Structures are given as structure tokens and as C-alpha cells.
Amino acid sequence: MSQTLTRPPALTRLAEDEALFRDSVYEFADKEVRPLSREMDEHAKMPRELIDKLFDLGVMGIEVPETHAGAGASFFHSVLAVEALSRVDPSVGVLVDVQNTLVINAILRWGNEQIRHRYLPKLASSVVGAYCLSEAGSGSDAFALATRGVERGDGFAITGRKLWITNGNEADVFIVFANVNPEAGYRGITAFLVDRGTPGFTVGKKEDKLGIRASSTCELIFEDCVVPKSAILGEVGKGYKVAIETLNEGRIGIGAQMVGLAQGALDHTVKYVKERKQFGKAIADFQAVQHQIARMAIAVETARLLVYNAARLRDAGLPFLQEAAMCKIVSSEVAESVTSMAINLYGGYGFVKDYPVEKLYRDAKIGQIYEGTSNMQLDTIAKGLLR
């Protein structure tokens, strides 16, 4: 572990104050991430040195049991870490989010002992993971997969392309969904663990994006990529269940990312309105500005409570499907509205890259799109209520 970093208290003493844990991760982000944020956005790249520090901090394997070199903490701790990091840079927040709420979570739930023993220690200490479901013709209709897996001897040969894969450049292990029995529809979908360097597997184009630019989003290409049957996560034909259940939890993580982002925009704005002077006094002294700041704070706290509630329900083993959908749609809308108001209050300065809020505004838009669009979340909520 780096001499300049210490693990947050709640990662080593799990009964400690969760707010202290969140604040400790934020202190790390403020010190280690903030100085790099603008450069990472401009160059659309996250330094490996920073990723290594995240591993040193312990936030890349939060739910991994201590027996597998992880922190052995809760899903709620993962949510707190994502929120705290996203308060400074949502690109870093989503890297940690995908690692914990999707990749590690899926392996913990669906991996056999051999898979857990092989992958969890690496994911907790040095290896980044990616979750590979989306395709060109398979977005909201996630199970219209064109990627195929054909049984071949003791394994399966995977052929197809995946799009918009977060962590694609950084990852060394990929959870890949392919249909091994198209005639069975979604019941043929199977989840595979594929290592970088497997013959027939290449990482393709990295997308040039509007926001969260330091987070890599890549195309993955599979051309007769043979993986052993021991690489199946769960069971053959149960990949749809792996995907659905994991994404339900992943949406809470995106909610946390959006809450952290909105809090960061609010932090910048509160500081700015106290410094910016017009008509002989700080604009924070004007009641209209005060009311706008108050509404921003109310919106952020509302979204935060929805996210925390969904995470608490998940950790308690209670139903959380509707709550996860609610927290994602509200937090993503709050992130967009709060960052927009931040730019308004900054005025002309908010529209230029010398100031931080224009980046957060760009970063916020993806929240209403990935891991389930807002329309899909509304559909989930309505079906639950009307069933």
C-alpha cells in the first residue's frame, strides 16, 4: 500500500460510522483526483497510477470477502464510495461503480467457488472488470442479443460485437453475455468470464463522448473466441437472470454517481456565489439566489435519500426493484437540473472550461441513458404499481 494512503476507517472496522467512511473517500478524491480531473477530461484518459491508488485505498473490492483479499464491507459502502468519488469526478465514480455493483456483485452471487477463488482476489487488488451486455441492436431491449456462443468441445466459441462498454480500455476481465440457443430466445443467454488476451477477443474503438470522458467506453469484438465451460458464470441459459438482477443493483450505483455529481456542483456554486460580487455585494446576498441554492440543496438531499433507501433495502434482503428505478430516475434528473442551475448562477464563467461546472453539466447527461433509460425506469415503476 502506498505510504501516502490509508484505508478509510469503515473498510477496516466495518461497524464504524458510515458518514466517516464517505468523508474519508471524499478526502482522497479531493487530494488525488481533483488535480487530475480537467486533464483527464481533455485527454479522455484515466492514468493507471490513479487506478492503482484506488486499489490501494480499498474501494475496488468493497464487498469482496476478506478471505479473498477484499474489504468485506456492504453494498451500502460501495454506494457511499461511488457518491464520494463522483462529487469530484464522475468518471472515477463510474469506474468504481461498475467494478463493485456489477462485476464483483455478479461474481459473488453467481460464481462458483472456483470462479470466486480465481477472480475475486485479483479484482480486489489490481484487476479492473467490465460488464458487457449492450450491442448495436440491443440497448433498452437488452435481450435482443446478436452475440452468439457455439458449443465446441469443452467450451464455447463466442462471436459478436459489444458496444458502449464501460472500463473497456482498463479492464482485464469481462463478463460477456451471449446467446447459446437462439431458438430459446432469452432463455439461451449465458454469461461468460473472458480474460483480456484470449485469442479471438479484441478491444475496439473507444468512443469520443460528451461527458464522463475519462471513463473509457469501448467496442468489444469477438471472432471465434473460445472460452472453457468453466468460464460460465451461473448456468447455461441463465444469463438473463444474471443480467437482470445485477443491473437492478447497478442502477443504485448510478444513482449514487448522480447524487455525488450534483453535490459537487452544489459545492462549487455555494462557494462561487459568496465570492462573486455584483451591484456592490456578493450575489449570495440576493434572496433570489438564496432560494435557488436552497432548491438545489433540497433536490440533492431528496435524491440522496432515495438512493440510500434502495441500498439499505438491498442489504436487508428486501425487495428493491421499484426503489432502484425511482432513485436512478430522480437522481439523474436532479443531476441535470442542479448542474444547469449551477451554470446559470456562474453566468458567463459557467459556460467556459476554466470553471468546473460545465464539465459536471456534460457528465450529468449520461445518467438518464445508461444502465436503463429513464423511460425504462418509468415502465418498471408503473408495472410494479399496477401489477
* CATH at 306: 1.20.140.10
The answer to the question of residue 2 being in a domain is no
Residue 171 sits in a domain whose CATH number is 2.40.110.10
- The Cα 198–Cα 188 span in angstroms is 23
Contact between 314 and 252 (Cβ < 8 Å): yes
The answer to the question of residue 15 being in a domain is yes
Q: Which three cell numbers stand for residue 342?
A: 449551477
Tell me, yes or no, if 371 is annotated catalytic.
yes
Same domain, 375 and 280: yes
Amino acid (one-letter) located at 138: S
Number of domains in the chain: 3
Query: What pTM does this model have?
Result: 0.94
Contacts of 45 (CB under 8 A, 6+ apart): 214, 216
The answer to the question of residue 144 being in a domain is yes
**What is the per-residue pLDDT across 186-212, written as a single tens digit (0 to 9) for each?**
999 999 999 999 999 999 999 999 999
Residue where a domain stops, chosen among 207, 237, 267: 237
Q: What is the CB-side half-sphere exposure of residue 246 using CA atoms within 13 A?
A: 30
**What is the per-residue pLDDT across 173-182, written as a single tens digit (0 to 9) for each?**
999 999 999 9
**What is the per-residue pLDDT across 219-239, written as a single tens digit (0 to 9) for each?**
999 999 999 999 999 999 999
Amino acid (one-letter) located at 238: K
Residue 92 sits in a domain whose CATH number is 1.10.540.10
In percent, the amount of the chain with pLDDT more than 90 equals 93
**What is the per-residue pLDDT across 297-355, written as a single tens digit (0 to 9) for each?**
999 999 999 999 999 999 999 999 999 999 999 999 999 999 999 999 999 999 999 99
Same domain, 289 and 362: yes
The answer to the question of residue 316 being in a domain is yes
- List, in sequence order, the alpha helices (H) in 87-230: 90-97, 105-110, 113-125
Same domain, 245 and 382: yes
Same domain, 154 and 185: yes
Same domain, 75 and 109: yes
Q: What is the CB-side half-sphere exposure of residue 350 using CA atoms within 13 A?
A: 21
Report DSSP state, residue 208: -
Same domain, 115 and 156: no
Query: 96: helix, coil or strand?
Result: helix
The answer to the question of residue 330 being in a domain is yes
Instruction: Give residue 14's pLDDT.
Output: 42
Residue where a domain stops, chosen among 111, 128, 145: 128
Structural domain that includes position 375: 241-386
Same domain, 72 and 56: yes
Angle between helices 90-97 and 357-364 (to 10 degrees): 40
Same domain, 17 and 107: yes
Amino acid (one-letter) located at 339: T
- The Cα 226–Cα 343 span in angstroms is 50
Same domain, 161 and 211: yes
Q: How would residue 143 be classed by pLDDT, with cut points 50, 70 and 90? A: confident
The answer to the question of residue 3 being in a domain is no
- Transcribe 187-203 into DSSP letters: GGEEEEEEETT-TTEEE
Query: Which parts of the chain are beta strand (E)?
Result: 129-132, 148-152, 155-166, 173-179, 189-195, 201-206, 217-228, 232-233, 277-278, 281-282
Same domain, 135 and 71: no
Same domain, 185 and 66: no
The answer to the question of residue 1 being in a domain is no
Same domain, 202 and 264: no
Q: How would residue 10 be classed by pLDDT, with cut points 50, 70 and 90? A: very low
386 phi/psi in degrees, rounded to 5: -95, -5
Average pLDDT estimate for 279-305: 98
Residue where a domain stops, chosen among 209, 237, 265: 237
CB contact burial 7-38 (16+ within 10 A = b; e otherwise): bbebbeeeeeebeebbebbbebbeebbeebbe
- The Cα 195–Cα 179 span in angstroms is 19
